[in-house]
Amino acid sequence: MLFTACSWGLTWPQSKFLLTMLPPFTMRASCGVAGFSFAFLVAFIRGERIWPPRDQWPRLILFAMLNYGLFIVLTTESLVWLKASEAVVITYTLPVWASLLAWPMLGERPTVRKIVALVLALGGVVLLVGADTAGATWQTLPAAGMSLAAAILFGLGTVLAKKKPLRLPPTASVAWQAMLGMMLVIALACFEHPHWGNVTAGGWVSIAYISTIPLTIGYLAWFRALRMVPASTAATTVLVSPLVGVIGSGVLLGETFGPRQIVALAMTLGGVALAARG
């Protein structure tokens, strides 16, 4: 779980870095195609059954959209307008939403602690994106909304995966979800006009990292964790992701993270920690 959280956290500054060279959905699609190709190769080497059972297709498509397709589209678009450090903090409110969704779906009633956690986490998000200059507000608010929507959808995917996991071998499951989810991203990338000559050696290294570590091995570890521990416990580990993302954004991109951002990060992570413990 810690490996997954750290690998996902490092994805954000590297994705922001790649946006300086490639259009957003082209960047995601290139990483995604390489990622699910790598996952299918690993599944084949491991001798896993590749083709899903017929009755698993509806849930497979649903999980692919929640965990990959819609999540990637929304977070990619938010990265265009937000700093990587801001986008990662907002998106990783997902344990709060997972905790709330677990009430109707898993029978886990929300406590006062979870309600306080929601208010605290959302307060941090508002502080993060709502206190910028007036000229940037109209751009940051929709982008923040996309990050929140991505967090809610991934939280829903987490609860669904815990409630009724797919009957597929682990690597094949990741490969199919990545491929089906990427179909939406690839379709959007068809409207863009990339210049591949702009991609530097560092850019290719980032593409190689994103497509293999977080997109394939990280998800494989995540789904494995969901089979072993409660959903709220697994969700707790993503607390590491925004910390890694913020530090990585400062080191790799030189993004400033002043007092307002630090307070917002503390509020958001505090809310998520309360939700996970509750």
Q: What is the pLDDT of residues 27-61, one digit of tens each?
A: 999 999 999 999 999 999 999 999 999 999 999 99
| Tokens linked to 35 | 């990622």
Closest CA to 88 of 209, 244, 192: 244
**Confidence (pTM):** 0.79
Average pLDDT, the chain: 83
Q: What is the pLDDT of residues 93-122, one digit of tens each?
A: 777 787 778 777 777 666 777 678 767 776
Q: 3-state SS string over the chain?
A: CHHHHHHHHHHHHHHHHHCCCCCHHHHHHHHHHHHHHHHHHHHHHCCCCCCCCHHHHHHHHHHHHHHHHHHHHHHHHHHHHCCHHHHHHHHCCHHHHHHHHHHHHHCCCCCHHHHHHHHHHHHHHHHHHHCCCHHHHHHHHHHHHHHHHHHHHHHHHHHHHHHCCCCCCHHHHHHHHHHHHHHHHHHHHCCCCCCHHHCCHHHHHHHHHHHHHHHHHHHHHHHHHHHHCCHHHHHHHHHHHHHHHHHHHHHHHCCCCCHHHHHHHHHHHHHHHHHHHC
Residue 134: the pLDDT is 41
For the chain, the domains span 2-277
Distance CA 223, CA 171 (A): 10
Regions of the chain where pLDDT drops below 50: 132-136
Residue 28: the pLDDT is 94
